[in-house]
Chain A
Amino acid sequence: MALLQISEPGQSTAPHQHRLAVGIDLGTTNSLVASVRSGDVQTLPDEDGSHLLSSVVRYHEDGVEVGAVAAQHAITDPMNTIVSVKRFMGRGISDLRLLGNKLPYHFIDEDKAVPRIHTRGGDVSATEVSAEILKALKRRAVKTLGEEIQGAVITVPAYFDEAQRQATKDAATLAGLNVLRLLNEPTAAAVAYGLDSGQEGVIAVYDLGGGTFDISILRLNQGVFEVLATGGDSALGGDDFDHVIAEWILQQADYEADPEPQLVRLLMHASRNAKETLSEQTEADILIDADEIQWHGSLSRDQMDALIEPLIRKTLMSCRRALRDAEIGNQDIIEIVMVGGSTRVPHVRNKVGEFFECEPLVSIDPDRVVAIGAALQADVLVGNKTDEDMLLLDIIPLSLGIETMGGLSEKIIHRNTPIPVSRAQDFTTYKDGQTAMAVHVVQGERELVSDCRSLAHFELRGFPPQVAGAPRIRVTFQVDADGLLSVHAREENSGTEASVDVKPSYGLTDEEIESMLRASMDHAQEDMLARTLREEQVEAERVVEALDSAIKADAALLTDDERRLISETRDRLIAARVGDDPGLIKKAITELEAACEDFVARRMNTSIRKAMKGHSVDEYATED
């Protein structure tokens, strides 16, 4: 046991030290940060006591404003004030055009994959705008909690595709947050309601936010939240309610020209106020006083219900599909959780209740419920609740495949498959002597590649020429717990390999992120080196800490030789860690990991056997 006595003076972390982690709901309209403090989960307010941070970023020549201050200028300074940026995440310029020509921004349509919005502070991508919101939340958390944040759980709509998830994770990287997990918003809401305690059965989460709609069907059992199916529309939300009301106003005012950006903002603002009024009252007074239009009128709740009815019907269509995918009937749903500000609209609640034949759950503020769930999960993941039984099992919302002959998509992983998942499929060549193959990765349910979202292109090159149909090219898809994909291709006869971490076609490249990080620092070169060194040191600490607790728990699984080897390589890592060469630390980590590979795998097997053993004991007990 000599091994356990080695410790680094002043560096040891107490085993049960509380680590600070936050949950972040990065919403279309509003964003929130929440944290668990002394057992209590709370959303964190700003200095003025406001919990919601408007997801609005305003660019100046020399800086940015985020939140209510920025939102005040949405109407007067629309070109430099970015609202609802979540709708642009992971999107290409052509997608943005589809979102409607009512967007006031000046998009830069150059050859870069990611569209940029031109502002007076420079051209910015949706990822960078989101990073500003995350930074503001991070500042708020650090200020309120008074210490550094170890990690964050960031929520995304369950229906977000790969590109949108990757863009969200990139935004977190830019904001300097360590992402513990990207968590689906509906799952977070179910966690917040504590529906795992005492309940067993199938629930539905209906999440209608400002710009996205999600429906998830989950099975709850002894702390395990298992997502069975998910569906939705990543471009449908309360903003669309505002749109139809705004159009109605234009109609009523007999205005036929294309409204200018400023007028659009004004109309949207008025529509939104009317919508919110109609959640409480049956009649809303609307006054439009602009240069182009002077109009005064009123909108009744019944009128609004009729305007938004087609949109609600669209959401219920997604619900039907999700139920069928889960092989569940409406009557099997024991609880329906309502999430998102748009579920305050009475007509939405009524229609959803009717559809699922049960009274919707609305007791937690629908604006805060997601952040609260995310904070609870962050607290578990960061290691503050080691005895916690809670486990969230997610699925992939949209099928992943590759393009085959004729522009067809061959699905490799189907939607609603539990993740993480790894799946391989064999392909072959169609021409004699072919020595390369282009792999085009797509996401979506449609048969034609042109109807699916293009995620990435890469090539497997240099395998030996063979007759058509002879090569065996195995393409392996690996999706991690965050829903992010990596793809690997290998020609089996020759062993030629190629692989790619899927950086979506509409995503920022690693180099771009690196240079953005660099740009945000004062003495670029020095700081980057310092940052890399710090990162390697933190990873080294993590590795040593994990190893020590592994050995403490399972020393019996080690042979004497292994123990000696591990102890030696561990010493080398500790020596490297105090130095200032990140390369050396990285090398020492790799060596230690190599020495531990068998041990780690054996531990995993042991924990599997333990999990299964618990079973046989239980069963004997019940059978006897």
Chain B
Amino acid sequence: MTDALSTNYFKLFEIPVSYDVDLDQVQHRYRDLQKAVHPDKYANASSQERRISMQHTSLINQALHTLKHPVERAMYLLQLKDVVFTMDNETTMDAAFLMEQMEMREKLEAVREQNDPLAELDSMSADVKSNMNNMADEFKRAYASDDLDDAREAVRKLQFLNKAKNEIDELAASIEDEII
């Protein structure tokens, strides 16, 4: 019998172990899993059952987060192949990539001086997203051919890009707030 707490997230959601996931399907299964284990279904149960239900629900929520997130999902796939990212300080050594990132940062810092900072941020955000898609393709290729070093490198870059995307979005949010 498989134990939900130790099975891998893809199996738990009964989807193929792959970077390509059908997010609608994930969402649908998530609801079904929650209907089976959520603490509200055990409101009258013993405190033991409630505790175990909470553990399972937490796990399912964690699994959902991992399966939906483009970077976490890649890291998790690597982890399934025993490649573990120990701390967040893993960094790429690709000089050209790092240079691009630095240029992007400089642009971001100066964005408030632009005529239309929000439009500029929108276009930067779109650029980063498309870079992320390319990097995800690179990850998929490397992972499929079991080239784990390349896959790991792709994840490092994805982490970079994801962080940049968050910063762009946050800056856009704070500029919007000032305008309102």
Using a CB–CB cutoff of 8 Å, the interface residues on chain A facing chain B are 151, 180-181, 221-222, 224, 226, 313, 316-317, 320-321, 324, 380-383, 389, 391-393, 417-423, 426, 478, 480-481, 539, 542-543, 546-547, 550, 593, 596-597, 600-602, 604-605, 607-612, 614-616
Closest B residue to A612 using CB positions: B14
- A604 near B58 with CB under 8 A, answer no
Chain B nearest Cβ from A179, distance in angstroms: 10
Whether, in the assembled complex, B92 has its beta carbon less than 8 Å from a beta carbon of chain A, the answer is no
Interfacial residues of chain B within 17-34, with CB under 8 A of chain A in the complex: 29, 31-34
Whether, in the assembled complex, B77 has its beta carbon less than 8 Å from a beta carbon of chain A, the answer is no
- A600 near B43 with CB under 8 A, answer no
Given A417-B61, A547-B46; A608-B173 close (CB under 8 Å): no
- B64 near A418 with CB under 8 A, answer yes
Closest 10 CB pairs of A and B: A611-B36, A422-B58, A381-B43, A543-B46, A593-B48, A607-B36, A481-B39, A546-B46, A611-B32, A418-B61
- B35 near A389 with CB under 8 A, answer yes
Chain B nearest Cβ from A325, distance in angstroms: 9
What A residues does B37 contact at CB under 8 A? 604, 607-608
Given A381-B40, A423-B62; A608-B52 close (CB under 8 Å): no
Chain A nearest Cβ from B15, distance in angstroms: 11
Using a CB–CB cutoff of 8 Å, the interface residues on chain B facing chain A are 1-5, 12, 14, 29, 31-41, 43-49, 52-59, 61-62, 64-65, 87, 169, 173, 176-177, 180
Known: A604-B36, A608-B4. 7 other contacts (CB 8 A): A224-B31, A316-B180, A320-B176, A393-B34, A543-B48, A611-B35, A615-B32
| Cα(A390)–Cα(B121), bound, Å | 41
| Cα(A614)–Cα(B29), bound, Å | 10
- A481 near B54 with CB under 8 A, answer yes
| Cα(A612)–Cα(B34), bound, Å | 11
| Cα(A19)–Cα(B61), bound, Å | 31
Q: Looking at the complex, which one of B31, B54, B180 makes contact with A480 (CB distance below 8 Å)? A: B54
What A residues does B177 contact at CB under 8 A? 317, 321
| Cα(A524)–Cα(B65), bound, Å | 49
- B61 near A546 with CB under 8 A, answer no
| Cα(A480)–Cα(B2), bound, Å | 25
- A614 near B32 with CB under 8 A, answer yes
Closest A residue to B31 using CB positions: A224
Chain A nearest Cβ from B30, distance in angstroms: 9
- B1 near A602 with CB under 8 A, answer yes
- A420 near B57 with CB under 8 A, answer yes
| Cα(A480)–Cα(B47), bound, Å | 13
Chain A nearest Cβ from B105, distance in angstroms: 17
- A393 near B36 with CB under 8 A, answer no
The binding surface of chain B is classed by DSSP as helix
What A residues does B34 contact at CB under 8 A? 224, 391, 393
- B46 near A542 with CB under 8 A, answer yes
- A224 near B48 with CB under 8 A, answer no
Q: Looking at the complex, which one of A324, A393, A542 makes contact with B44 (CB distance below 8 Å)? A: A542
What A residues does B46 contact at CB under 8 A? 539, 542-543, 546-547, 593
Given A420-B58, A481-B54, A610-B36; A383-B180 close (CB under 8 Å): no
- B180 near A313 with CB under 8 A, answer yes
| Cα(A522)–Cα(B169), bound, Å | 59
What B residues does A422 contact at CB under 8 A? 55, 58-59, 62
What B residues does A550 contact at CB under 8 A? 49
| Cα(A608)–Cα(B49), bound, Å | 14
Q: Looking at the complex, which one of A391, A419, A543, A608 makes contact with B61 (CB distance below 8 Å)? A: A419
Chain A nearest Cβ from B48, distance in angstroms: 4
Chain B nearest Cβ from A32, distance in angstroms: 22
| Cα(A419)–Cα(B65), bound, Å | 11
| Cα(A483)–Cα(B14), bound, Å | 29
What B residues does A539 contact at CB under 8 A? 46-47
Closest B residue to A610 using CB positions: B36
- B31 near A383 with CB under 8 A, answer no
Chain B nearest Cβ from A15, distance in angstroms: 12
- Tell me which of B31, B52, B169 has the highest count of chain A C-beta atoms within 10 A of its own C-beta: B31
Q: Looking at the complex, which one of B3, B12, B45, B173 makes contact with A601 (CB distance below 8 Å)? A: B3
| Cα(A317)–Cα(B61), bound, Å | 29
Given A224-B34, A596-B48; A321-B43 close (CB under 8 Å): no
Chain A nearest Cβ from B47, distance in angstroms: 7
| Cα(A601)–Cα(B173), bound, Å | 44
- A180 near B3 with CB under 8 A, answer no
What A residues does B180 contact at CB under 8 A? 313, 316-317, 320
| Cα(A320)–Cα(B35), bound, Å | 31
What B residues does A391 contact at CB under 8 A? 31, 34-35, 38, 40-41
What B residues does A321 contact at CB under 8 A? 173, 177
Chain B nearest Cβ from A518, distance in angstroms: 24
What B residues does A324 contact at CB under 8 A? 169, 173
What A residues does B176 contact at CB under 8 A? 320
Chain B nearest Cβ from A332, distance in angstroms: 15
What A residues does B39 contact at CB under 8 A? 420, 480-481
- A481 near B38 with CB under 8 A, answer yes
- A181 near B43 with CB under 8 A, answer yes
Given A321-B173, A608-B37, A611-B35; A383-B44 close (CB under 8 Å): yes
| Cα(A165)–Cα(B22), bound, Å | 36
- A383 near B14 with CB under 8 A, answer no
What A residues does B43 contact at CB under 8 A? 151, 180-181, 381-383
